[in-house]
Chains A and B, each alone.
Chain A
Amino acid sequence: MRTAPAMILEVKNLRVEFPTRRGTLVAVDGISFSIAPGEVLGVVGESGAGKSLTGAAIIGLLDPPGRIAAGEILLEGERIDHLQHEQMRRIRGRRIGAIFQDPLTSLNPLYTIGEQLIETIRTHLAIGAAEARERALALLREVGIPAPEARIDHYPHQFSGGMRQRVVISLALCTEPRLIIADEPTTALDVSIQAQIIQLLKKLAREHGAAVMLITHDMGVIAETADRVAVMYAGRIAEIGPVREVIRAAKHPYTAGLMGSIPKIRIAADRLRAPLVQIDGAMPRLNAIPSGCAFHPRCGKSFERCTTERPEPRPAGANLTACWLYD
């Protein structure tokens, strides 16, 4: 018997490696975090930071030769990182729901959305066809599809991009999963549709008490949706903390630079066309991660120790920050 854990997802020292002919690439390097019921954890970072791979590792969908080389992943207190393929497949449909960037890749073009919803529901829950259809209709209504009774028998191509993403969300929710992993769920959508989807995700997490891991490069989406946020850089967590603290009082120089580089609408004439804060250089490639703190070659505040010794996340204000400035 195990006691009910306070956290739905716990990730401890996760390491993801890609063995290649020219040596092993470490794409995710010893990261730890957890997500509570009803909480939205934003995972933000630029291309190559390792945020999507972290999500893929949790749902057991790392593309070979990528593999979990160390660490533990616990879903409601139970380890899921070393499960067999078949066992993981059952958990993935039943207890973990996934939403990806392009809704078309998550939907089969040859089946109506009703058939796809009903099949998913009946694969994981022991209920009859009629009851499953009722449940599918209720879900479509919940995610805001107008006239669900008519739309349930339509094919994916008959929906617009925003509506398709709503269908994918209803698919991810249809078995009442405890954990939802949403990887760039709004990136392919126009701004006016983005706001609709964000509000929907937030409402569903709250109402269903599920834990949500929201992976995105868009700080704006995080600011509006997440309770806490983890900022990733070169496969590591640079900073993690409550979203207000990270956005308004970033401790790590990378987070601060990232926040400064995001264009914000400027109204006052004197601020129009002022240059943006820029971080020189680019994220290192996986085969050339700098020693010590991976950010030190681009950091304006780096000193001797940053070049040799790797900082681990430690408390700095309300956040945990992997930076020697806060030692």
Chain B
Amino acid sequence: MLHAVDGVSFEVRKGETFALVGESGCGKSTIARLIVGLYAPSRGRIEFDGVEISNPAAKAATARMRRRMQMIFQDPYASLNPRWRVRDVIAEPIRAHQEHTKRVEERARRVGGLAAEEAQITTRVAELLKQVGLAPEDGEKYPHEFSGGQRQRISIARALSGNPEFLVCDEPTSALDVSVQAQILNLMTELQARLGLTYLFISHNLAVVSHVADRIGVMYLGRLVEIADAQELFARPKHPYTRMLLDAVPDLEMSGRQRTPIAGEVPNPLSPPTGCAFHPRCPHANDRCKRERPELRSLVEAGVKPGLIRHGEAASACHAVEEKRI
């Protein structure tokens, strides 16, 4: 049995950007897919606006909630249908939504509804294209006529077309060149401010995350090892793994700081180490770390019962931090 994600609890507050960071295989993308319903959790629950959306029995309630969220994928080459014109790619969520509403309200009986709806969709698509920095005429083209950065703009326009409140962004700029990455990150920040969006931002790149995130969760081998406000996490990282990730970021200011190379690699998730999964690579590990798995504990009140970490609290899953050894 492989636990891709194991006992993870966190909250995303309305209007904020919550980032999940970690190396390949840590489970961050699995969480994204669980939230949007591409996978079903084996245990645990996911709530959106107070309504559980992880219960397969409550399909109708889940579907209503899911329309308020959308996902942006990493690879803009694989996530756009090459046979569709861009305007149809962007309009698909609108049409899918209308189909649904029609069934419910039988709106199709209204005379002249269809033509008016199509005109509305055309206007809406043009507006969305402008919003992401493309021209309305670009809607007539096919995805292959665009560069990687432009394709990611199209993905964003598609995600926005159903007026979502919550966007799950899985490595949205990892496939892009740096100058294009800057364009997309700036666009996402601007759209968030303008439309009041909430982001779950998933990335392996701490520097990218420091530009967009309000709060950050650090993952290692399927578990959350630290949660903190972005500023706090970068200024005073608690968990040894977070410190290691920060040390591994290249020094572009050329201050002469040497990257501290960390011994070892991420273990095989099929046979994770006992106790704290990070202990074989951790300079502060002792016998307790090898034996006992540390729970994510609030750093505000020492000794508080582990569980859901409320907004504004910093937490870390580390015996050494709890025992004040580091």
Minimal Cβ-Cβ distance residue in A for B257: A224
What's the Cα separation between A176 and B179 when bound, in Å? 38
What's the Cα separation between A277 and B149 when bound, in Å? 16
Contacts of A301 in B (CB 8 A): none
Partner of A269 from B23, B183, B231 at Cβ < 8 Å: B231
A276–B186 CB distance below 8 A? yes
Contacts of A278 in B (CB 8 A): 179, 182-183, 186
A265–B186 CB distance below 8 A? no
Contacts of B259 in A (CB 8 A): 195, 198-199, 224
Does B212 lie at the interface of the complex (its beta carbon under 8 Å from any beta carbon of A)? yes
CB distance from A323 to the nearest CB of B (A): 17
A191–B23 CB distance below 8 A? yes
What's the Cα separation between A79 and B100 when bound, in Å? 69
Does A128 lie at the interface of the complex (its beta carbon under 8 Å from any beta carbon of B)? no
Q: Digit string of B80-99 for contact with A (CB within 8 Å is 1, else 0)?
A: 00000000000000000000
Does A280 lie at the interface of the complex (its beta carbon under 8 Å from any beta carbon of B)? yes
Does B189 lie at the interface of the complex (its beta carbon under 8 Å from any beta carbon of A)? yes
Partner of B211 from A192, A196, A258, A276 at Cβ < 8 Å: A276
B181–A223 CB distance below 8 A? no
Contacts of A163 in B (CB 8 A): 265
A217–B178 CB distance below 8 A? yes
A220–B252 CB distance below 8 A? yes
What's the Cα separation between A192 and B235 when bound, in Å? 20
CB-contacts of A183-232 with B (<8 A) = 190-196, 198-199, 217-221, 223-224
Partner of A282 from B147, B205, B234 at Cβ < 8 Å: B147
Partner of A46 from B150, B179, B254 at Cβ < 8 Å: B179
A265–B234 CB distance below 8 A? yes
Pick from B50-58, B240-248, B306-314 the stretch touching chain A: B240-248
CB distance from B34 to the nearest CB of A (A): 22
Does A3 lie at the interface of the complex (its beta carbon under 8 Å from any beta carbon of B)? no
Contacts of A247 in B (CB 8 A): 252, 254
Minimal Cβ-Cβ distance residue in B for A260: B182
Minimal Cβ-Cβ distance residue in A for B184: A278
B177–A46 CB distance below 8 A? yes
CB distance from B51 to the nearest CB of A (A): 30
What's the Cα separation between A116 and B171 when bound, in Å? 36
Minimal Cβ-Cβ distance residue in A for B185: A276
B23–A218 CB distance below 8 A? no
A190–B182 CB distance below 8 A? no
Contacts of A259 in B (CB 8 A): 252
What's the Cα separation between A276 and B187 when bound, in Å? 10
B244–A192 CB distance below 8 A? yes
A220–B249 CB distance below 8 A? yes
Contacts of B149 in A (CB 8 A): 282
A47–B252 CB distance below 8 A? no
Q: Digit string of B175-202 for contact with A (CB within 8 Å is 1, else 0)?
A: 0011111110110010000000000000
Does B261 lie at the interface of the complex (its beta carbon under 8 Å from any beta carbon of A)? yes
Does A162 lie at the interface of the complex (its beta carbon under 8 Å from any beta carbon of B)? yes
B177–A217 CB distance below 8 A? yes
Given A46-B177, A248-B254; A263-B207 close (CB under 8 Å): yes
A194–B186 CB distance below 8 A? no
CB distance from B269 to the nearest CB of A (A): 13
CB distance from B273 to the nearest CB of A (A): 15
Minimal Cβ-Cβ distance residue in A for B150: A282
Q: Digit string of A83-100 for contact with B (CB within 8 Å is 1, else 0)?
A: 000000000000000000
B266–A190 CB distance below 8 A? yes
CB distance from B89 to the nearest CB of A (A): 20
CB distance from A48 to the nearest CB of B (A): 9
What's the Cα separation between A244 and B251 when bound, in Å? 12
Minimal Cβ-Cβ distance residue in A for B281: A192
CB distance from B198 to the nearest CB of A (A): 15
What's the Cα separation between A193 and B264 when bound, in Å? 8
Partner of B183 from A219, A223, A267, A280 at Cβ < 8 Å: A280
Which of A196, A198, A273 lies at the interface centre, i.e. has the most chain B CB atoms within 10 A of its CB? A273
A275–B186 CB distance below 8 A? yes
Partner of B210 from A219, A248, A272 at Cβ < 8 Å: A272
Does A257 lie at the interface of the complex (its beta carbon under 8 Å from any beta carbon of B)? yes
Contacts of B128 in A (CB 8 A): none
B23–A192 CB distance below 8 A? yes
What's the Cα separation between A269 and B148 when bound, in Å? 32
Which of B179, B248, B251, B254 lies at the interface centre, i.e. has the most chain A CB atoms within 10 A of its CB? B179
B248–A223 CB distance below 8 A? no
Minimal Cβ-Cβ distance residue in A for B175: A47
Does A262 lie at the interface of the complex (its beta carbon under 8 Å from any beta carbon of B)? yes
B254–A223 CB distance below 8 A? yes
Partner of A261 from B148, B181, B231, B244 at Cβ < 8 Å: B181
CB-contacts of B261-294 with A (<8 A) = 261-262, 265-266
Contacts of A243 in B (CB 8 A): 254
Minimal Cβ-Cβ distance residue in B for A198: B259
Does B250 lie at the interface of the complex (its beta carbon under 8 Å from any beta carbon of A)? yes
Contacts of A223 in B (CB 8 A): 250-252, 254
Which of B24, B189, B252 lies at the interface centre, i.e. has the most chain A CB atoms within 10 A of its CB? B252
A244–B254 CB distance below 8 A? yes
Given A195-B259, A196-B261, A219-B178; A272-B231 close (CB under 8 Å): yes
Contacts of A2 in B (CB 8 A): none
A/B interface sample: 10 pairs, CB < 8 A: A47-B148, A190-B265, A191-B249, A196-B261, A248-B254, A263-B185, A264-B207, A267-B231, A275-B186, A282-B147
What would 12 more interface pairs be, CB under 8 Å, given A278-B183, A283-B177?
A: A46-B178, A161-B265, A162-B265, A195-B262, A199-B259, A218-B250, A248-B253, A262-B207, A264-B210, A272-B230, A272-B231, A275-B189
Binding site for B on A (CB under 8 A): 46-47, 160-163, 190-196, 198-199, 217-221, 223-224, 243-244, 247-248, 257-267, 269, 272-280, 282-283
Q: Which 5 pairs of residues, A with B, have the shortest CB-CB distance?
A: A220-B250, A261-B182, A46-B177, A276-B182, A190-B23
